[in-house]
Amino acid sequence: MEDFHQHQVEQAVVEALRLGAISFDAVKMLLLARLENRPARLDLTFYPYLPAATVKTTDPRAYLGLIAGADLAASTTTVGASA
């Protein structure tokens, strides 16, 4: 986002997600390839030792547990501090 326009980064992220390439480097490579009007070289056959990544969609309800845990930790800390 420091060097490119937001819409360019968004397009590269969408393409990276479609390809299952979820790293910063992959997004940057896709963005640069698009700017240079050349195909991106994301052939992982040269890297058979790299594990395949599977990323599930985040369930927003999972954050409620984090918030509840933070509230519980804050109340425990407050009680402990006043004792």
- Residue pair 61/54 in contact (Cβ under 8 Å)? The answer is no
pLDDT value of residue 49: 73
- Residue pair 22/13 in contact (Cβ under 8 Å)? The answer is no
Q: How far is CA 14 from CA 9, 18, 65, 69, in A?
A: 9, 6, 29, 33
pLDDT value of residue 70: 67
Global confidence as pTM: 0.47
Q: Looking at residues 4-28, what average pLDDT do you find?
A: 87
pLDDT value of residue 40: 77
- Residue pair 40/23 in contact (Cβ under 8 Å)? The answer is no
Q: How far is CA 83 from CA 7, 72, 73, 77, in A?
A: 53, 17, 16, 10
pLDDT value of residue 31: 92
- For residue range 26-72, list pLDDT tens digits in order: 888 899 988 888 877 766 676 677 777 777 888 888 888 788 776 65
